[in-house]
Amino acid sequence: MPHLKQPIGILGGTFDPVHFGHLRMALELYQALDLAEVRLVPCYQPVHRKMPVATPEQRLKMVTEAIAKESAFTVDPCEIERQGPSYTIDTLKTLHALLPNTPFCLIMGIDALLSFSSWHQWENILDLAHLVVAHRPQYQLPQTGIVADLLKERLRHNAIDLHNSLAGNILLHPVTPLEISSTDIRKQIASGRNPRFLLPDSVYNYIKEHGTYSISRI
């Protein structure tokens, strides 16, 4: 097997807007798992939910502002440039073509893991990436079903397993629970409340300047 590079974390999302729940989770996993970087990948068109409120360009700009001073993070516009439905499998194929021999760790909240078997070509995703699941205590792992079987087969307990193989393992890792959601931030802004300290100031300043989540748009 060719020598593998240091794994890269991939955090996809709508980021409508990006907030400290996303950023803190990404930083903790970057450090704990010794990742080369975490790439934040704002989607163009989410597959399982309604269209975001902010435009793709606005969400990309907010992520860019949010990570400007953190060298552990990069932002990848590939899904926005590709347009159409944002399938993770397509993003992983693009990344593998650009960065061969690099393990990719798909970072997700446990809520996302629970619906993983409904993702487009989920079996092929596991051929191209590991899953790193940020454990949030209020969610229980399933005991039966496809995700339960996947965990039985592929769950690993050591970050080294993400470095020694290209794809296919699942790692659960606790992160500091921050009950912040983009939906709640949008509601706060639309009702005239101040969401400061839930998201970076640079992102809040952008939102204020562009009126991104005014009442009429929520």
What's the closest the beta carbon of residue 196 comes to ligand ATP, in angstroms? 16
Instruction: Indicate the helix (H) or strand (E) that contains 82.
Output: helix 78-82
Residue among 165, 178, 188, 190 that touches ligand ATP (CB under 6 A): 178
Residue among 7, 8, 9, 15 that touches ligand ATP (CB under 6 A): 15
Residue closer to ligand ATP, measured from CB, 85 or 164: 85
Give yes or no for a contact between 67 and 30, defined as CB atoms under 8 angstroms apart: no
CA-CA distance, 6 to 132, in Å (whole number)?
15
Q: What is the distance in angstroms between the CA of the first residue and the CA of the last residue of the chain?
A: 50
183 counts as binding ligand ATP under rule CB under 6 A: yes
108 counts as binding ligand ATP under rule CB under 6 A: yes
201 counts as binding ligand ATP under rule CB under 6 A: no
Bond from prior residue into 17 cis (ω within 30 degrees of 0): yes
Residue 114: how many CB atoms within 10 A of its CB? 17
Residue among 7, 8, 10, 13 that touches ligand ATP (CB under 6 A): 13
Helix, strand, or coil (residue 106): strand
119 counts as binding ligand ATP under rule CB under 6 A: no
Q: Which two tokens stand for residue 172?
A: 């659960």
Which spans of this chain sit near ligand ATP (rule: CB under 6 A)?
13-16, 21-22, 25, 108-109, 111-112, 134, 178, 180-183
